[in-house]
Amino acid sequence: MPKEQYLECGKIVGTHGVKGMVRLECYCNTPMTLARMKRLYKKEKNGSFTEYKVLRGSVQKTMVLCALEGVDTLDAAIPLKGTVLYADRADFRLRPDDVFIADMLDLPVIDAESGETYGILTDVLTAGVQDIYVVTEENGKTFMIPGVSEFIKKRIVEGEDAGIYVKLIEGMREN
């Protein structure tokens, strides 16, 4: 399956000041990752993407403040509230073991030792200190796995061995 070129990276939740700056809720691994982007994109109704050059980006607590080219007044910024912004996957600088959540979704979750398939990865929750992987079994039941190396042994997002390889402890699949 081809990878999406543009990935959701934040949502405009408000404005900042009177010169058109916007406040973004960050969907990236850190607000600084989003603040360093040089361009962001808005998805249009027809599926095309409109590029915004980022003039300035900074972090304010958990939010990102951005000045976007062409959005230089409060009146221009207000209609953008609620807009989800995207980034081109080529603009991210990943470390060797980093993967995009979008590339992991729908992959099989496999026991690293026995090869048993537990289900598919249907969501990754990122609200706390660590990610939580949500696995949906064939029967529709779900269970969660903390996204730490004790349980997540490897993530392969391409090729015939693609999957999330895990080591579970007793009771982890119980609801």
pLDDT digits (tens, 9 = 90+) for 11-60: 999 999 899 999 999 988 889 999 999 999 999 999 999 999 999 999 99
| Residue 83 sits in the same domain as residue 122 | no
Domain boundaries, position 129: 101-166
Task: Identify the domain boundary among 36, 66, 91.
Answer: 91
**Domain count across the chain:** 2
Q: Are both 33 and 86 inside the same structural domain?
A: yes
Domain of 13: which CATH number?
2.40.30.60
Residue 175 located in a structural domain: no
Q: Are 172 and 157 in contact (CB under 8 A)?
A: no
User: What pLDDT, in 10s, does the model give residues 118-168?
Assistant: 999 999 998 777 899 999 999 999 999 999 999 999 999 999 999 999 999
User: Which of 58, 91, 124 delimits the end of a domain?
Assistant: 91
Answer whether residue 172 is part of any domain: no
In a domain, 1, yes or no: no
Does the pLDDT value for residue 2 go beyond 80?
no
Whether residue 63 is found in the same domain as residue 131: no
Same domain, 79 and 118: no
Same domain, 80 and 132: no
pLDDT in tens, 59-95: 998 899 999 999 999 999 999 999 999 999 999 988 8
- 84 vs 97, which has greater pLDDT? 84
Please check whether residues 86 and 106 belong to one and the same domain: no
Q: Kindly write down the DSSP assignment for every residue of 87-156, as one continuous string.
A: EEGGG----TT---HHHHTTPEEEETTT--EEEEEEEEE-SSSS-EEEEE-TTS-EEEEE-STTTEEEEE
Residue 175 has pLDDT above 70, yes or no: no
Same-domain status, 85 and 110: no
